[in-house]
Amino acid sequence: MARLIVAAAVSLIGVLAPLVLGTKPHAQNSTYYNPILPGFHPDPSCIFVPEWDDTFFCASSSFNAFPGIPLHASKDLQNWKLIGNILNRPEQLPRLVETNRSTSGIWAPTLRFNEGNFWLVTTLVDDDRVDTDPSRWDNIIFKSDDPYDPSAWTEAIHFDFEGYDTSPVWDSDGKTYIVGGHAWKVSPGILLAEANLETGEVGEWEVIWTGTGGSAPEGPHIFLKDGWHYLLAAEGGTGLEHMVTMARSKSIHGPYEANPANPVLTNANTTNYFQTVGHADLFQDVTGNWWGVALSTRSGPEYLYYPMGRETTMVPVTWADNEFPIWSSLNGEMSGWELPQKNVELDGTGPLITEGDTIDFEPGSTLPTHFTYWRYPIPESYTISPPDHPNTLRLNPSKLNLTALNGNYAGPSGQTFIGRRQQDTLFTYSVNLDFSPTLLEEEAGISVFLTQNHHLDLGVVMLPANSSTASLPGTKITTSEEIIPQLRFRGISYIHVPDDVMVPLPESWSGKTLRLEVKAYNMTHYSMSAGPADALSQMRTIVDVSNAPVSWGFSGVILGVYCTTNGYEGGTPAYISKWRYIPQGQFRN
């Protein structure tokens, strides 16, 4: 009975709190939709900066992708524009090229604004090193006085901490601190130290909270309100048990008392389409209303089909004076505080998050801001509109293919691959490919790429004729050992993938520019197709494949193009043109 009374009291607080604040209940205000940043945008950290024309800014983690730490801006909380990437030059953090393992790289960032400067604190993680090795955690600070200017972001300032998810906080006594999640397999807990963000000097680390009992207490942020220090954290790991918890203290050093209503946000043990909800942040809008952001995976509790990985979602939060905040439940369609009026007038070179691609690689143009490599690129491998092939992107082949050395490491020689995030449940992505290989295993094509050990590829490749597994009209399987151009589907994953498919190019397609296409036609499957670019009626589906093999880990699918010799000799370039990405629908329930 006591439990029922507590539950009823909490429910009553949830109903009355908006009235206590003197604000209209959520139900009478705006409707918006999650995710606000669809696709590979995990571990969100968002702020509202009145000094920059009442603009909201959100940063997210990027792991081995480069440019890294994408930064989005919005004036209305509905239309988000990529204004740049905080990690945009190799000299800012040279060691990203050395990372070994798909789960290494840039983990969760924290974005903050203080006294005219933007600060981004994060961790470069070498996840291949043993849990007890302190060197696996390289904690770093970036600073900028202009978020719209990529060159304004400093090179990384390093500081010592055996952990990750580090976050700066400026206390009321004028001191600056960093709070972070200690390496939980060594000793779980939330730690705090005084810090100099300009130099990276830190004081002695102290444990201030150990969470509510969930695994891996991490993702901490501290907020000062009404004389309290409110500590926000994540627990349960980043899978189906993920949750957001809170505690508070009068002193930044503690002791912290847990919120009796913990967890404040989770979809664990529900049938909601949005799962793995956690790793949150809080911010206010211009009217003083509070909002929370968190990562989430559109998978349902089955947790099998989620190629876009962990995305950024937003919920309204009610925060009465001297009380813990009350978070709304997370769904695809939300009712929240009144949103600012629509405003898409934003600086920055990137697209709005909902836009598709119509890229023709015009002479004198540059690669779009949202295009993404895996680790640092070899610049000479990518040429826009070379004189002999205008309006194309020339790809010089890398010796390594997308799997590279062992599915985890690529070394300094790099991989020729460039793509863009999948940001829609349903879409069509296609390119024209002009490629004339002559040597064994020279290959170019398109990829549904999650990591080096999870990708689905369709390419043109030189192979022995007798390796064919299927044929198209006008072709036949032979026993000849002659090296011929074939279409090859090949996948790699820890999850089952179909066998390789090798199909000889029809003679009528020989020497022609080809159209390669991948289409997500439902929430579970892709079709991968090819045909002559000048006769799209001849397009043929080479394979229908589940997206389960690219539903794994920390990141999300990148759709792109590649060129490789697969470890053999060769140097034939590929020419990419008419790059198209067409959004065709989002599933939210």
**Burial class, 88, CB count within 10 angstroms (exposed 0-12 / middle 13-18 / buried 19+):** middle
- Confirm if 124 and 93 have CB atoms less than 8 A apart: yes
Q: Quote the tokens at residue 2.
A: 């006591």
- Confirm if 433 and 468 have CB atoms less than 8 A apart: no
Bond prior to 549 in cis (omega within 30° of 0): no
Counting DSSP H helices and E strands in the chain, the numbers are: 1, 39
Task: Measure the CA–CA gap between 10 and 262, rounded to whole angstroms.
Answer: 11
Ramachandran class of 212: left when φ > 0, alpha when ψ lies in -120 to 50, beta otherwise:
alpha
- Confirm if 440 and 565 have CB atoms less than 8 A apart: no
Task: Measure the CA–CA gap between 80 and 73, rounded to whole angstroms.
Answer: 5
Collapsing DSSP states into helix, strand and coil, what is residue 9? helix
**Burial class, 355, CB count within 10 angstroms (exposed 0-12 / middle 13-18 / buried 19+):** middle
Point out the residues that are catalytic.
43, 218
SS3 content of the chain, % helix, strand, coil (to 5): 10, 40, 50
- Confirm if 301 and 283 have CB atoms less than 8 A apart: no
Strand partners, 543: 528
Task: Measure the CA–CA gap between 109 and 117, rounded to whole angstroms.
Answer: 16
Count CB atoms within 10 A of the CB of residue 128.
15
Task: Measure the CA–CA gap between 461 and 438, rounded to whole angstroms.
Answer: 9
Ramachandran class of 13: left when φ > 0, alpha when ψ lies in -120 to 50, beta otherwise:
alpha
- Confirm if 278 and 265 have CB atoms less than 8 A apart: yes
- Confirm if 474 and 507 have CB atoms less than 8 A apart: yes
